Structure 1
């Protein structure tokens, strides 16, 4: 599945819903966004509907309002962007090498643990956490 980068207001809406980890109404979203900048209720309602039609949000009627919540996690969204970026490369090994050279030692360790987990090898983040270590 190709993951298109979210637009500015789409990302603001998704960021809030991911952070809140609960369904929210357009009114709640508008009120929160308006703390930083002015945005019309109808604009947020339209963008939330677009995100729903694109499959990013599910919604359920609550009285006269819709409650919106994400269908996918922030991590799934980020992973999709990373897959798409890698898929655009003509030389995937070189792209991966450049990526790994540019990330922090902490991210290299996290990537190594994720690869071990994906392969079913000991020492992945879940196993380390279950032994009382940091994930």
Structure 2
């Protein structure tokens, strides 16, 4: 870790995002030590455990007994695409002018994404 990285304060939710990414990449339940290793071992075990408990409280992860019967293993409650779509809908629901939000969202899309969205909407209407 560079001095710049060590002195940098993480953005709100960044650690949770990193843990979720590690869990999705693993494709199987991980213990806190497994998550810690997947993140490169730079975070303290207690920090990883705290993040996992917060994610559990937010219902973003599930927990069950670890293979050896001691401790817990964690896995994502939803895949990455489903969680992102849920968050997008929640952000849209928070705003009174849905049309303006959707208009700004659409204006920022790349041409390939516009085509993909049109195809998905046409498929939905079929």
Given the two structures, how large is their TM-score scaled by the length of structure 2? 0.79
Which secondary structure does the structure 2 equivalent of 1:60 belong to? strand
Of residues 7-16 and 87-96 in structure 1, the stretch that sits farther from structure 2 once superposed is 87-96
- 1: CA distance, partners of 2:104 / 2:60: 31
Equivalenced residues, count: 113
1:50 aligns with 2:54: yes
RMSD in angstroms over aligned alpha carbons? Answer: 1.7
Among 1, 21, 31, the alignment partner of 1:25 is 31
Aligned counterpart, 1:81: 87
1:8 aligns with 2:14: yes
| Structure 1 position 21, deviation (Å) | 1.8
- 1: CA distance, partners of 2:79 / 2:123: 19
Aligned counterpart, 2:4: none
Among 62, 71, 75, the alignment partner of 2:77 is 71
| Structure 1 position 40, deviation (Å) | 0.5
Deviations 1:50-94 (A, max 9, x none): 211221111111221311111111112211221122223332222
